[in-house]
């Protein structure tokens, strides 16, 4: 593995570890993580908004697209959800205003946007777990 790929992989793993720490749902929450090494402008294999990894998840778990929820903080995350025809939840913590980007794209207005990953995770799991995550009893 080249130095630059190893650096990117470490950054991606660090990002995922930080997300897990923030939502406090344990370090084994995700069974699989996909890291795409294509650069912008390269042919899409796994880089968002390619639906490839999502399709692999759908197939490997034997679920329908509408049973999956894609959560992310970038417009490309919601574009991926749209291309998969699955639920999508945005987290407005990225470098750009996700709300503005979604408002400007009529193909993405069905997606809900939250200001924190904790709120997004709570919304995704719903019910009593949602209230516990947000500190409501």
pLDDT at 130: 46
Q: How far is CA 72 from the centre of its chain?
A: 3
Structural domain containing residue 21: 3-133
Counting the structural domains of the chain, the total is: 1
* Token pair for 59: 């197939």
Q: Residue 50: CA atoms inside 13 Å, Cβ hemisphere, count? A: 17
Q: Is the pLDDT of residue 9 over 50?
A: yes
In tens, the pLDDT along 45-102 reads 888 888 998 999 999 999 999 888 888 888 999 999 999 999 999 998 866 689 888 9
Task: Supply the CATH number for residue 72's domain.
Answer: 3.40.50
pLDDT at 14: 82
Q: Is the pLDDT of residue 106 over 80?
A: yes
Average pLDDT, the chain: 80
Q: Check residues 34 and 93 and name the one with the higher pLDDT.
A: 93
Radius of gyration of the chain (CA): 15
* Token pair for 137: 């009893």
Q: Is the pLDDT of residue 122 over 60?
A: yes
Residue carrying the six token digits 């970038």: 74
pLDDT at 137: 47
Check: CB of residue 83 under 8 Å from CB of residue 65: no
pLDDT at 2: 55
From 68, 66, 74, select the one nearest 113 (Cα to Cα). Answer: 74
């Amino acid at each position: 593995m080249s130095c630059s790929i190893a650096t990117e992989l470490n950054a991606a793993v660090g990002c995922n570890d930080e997300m897990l720490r923030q939502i406090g749902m344990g370090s084994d929450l995700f069974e699989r993580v996909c890291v795409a090494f294509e650069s912008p402008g390269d042919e899409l294999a796994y880089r968002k908004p390619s639906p490839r990894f999502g399709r692999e998840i759908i197939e490997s778990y034997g679920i329908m697209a509408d049973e999956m929820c894609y959560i992310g903080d970038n417009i490309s995350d919601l574009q991926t959800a749209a291309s998969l025809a699955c639920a999508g939840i945005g987290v407005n913590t990225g470098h750009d205003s996700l709300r503005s980007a979604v408002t400007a794209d009529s193909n993405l207005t069905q997606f809900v946007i939250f200001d924190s990953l904790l709120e997004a995770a709570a919304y995704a799991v719903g019910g009593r777990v949602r209230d516990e995550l947000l500190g409501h009893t």
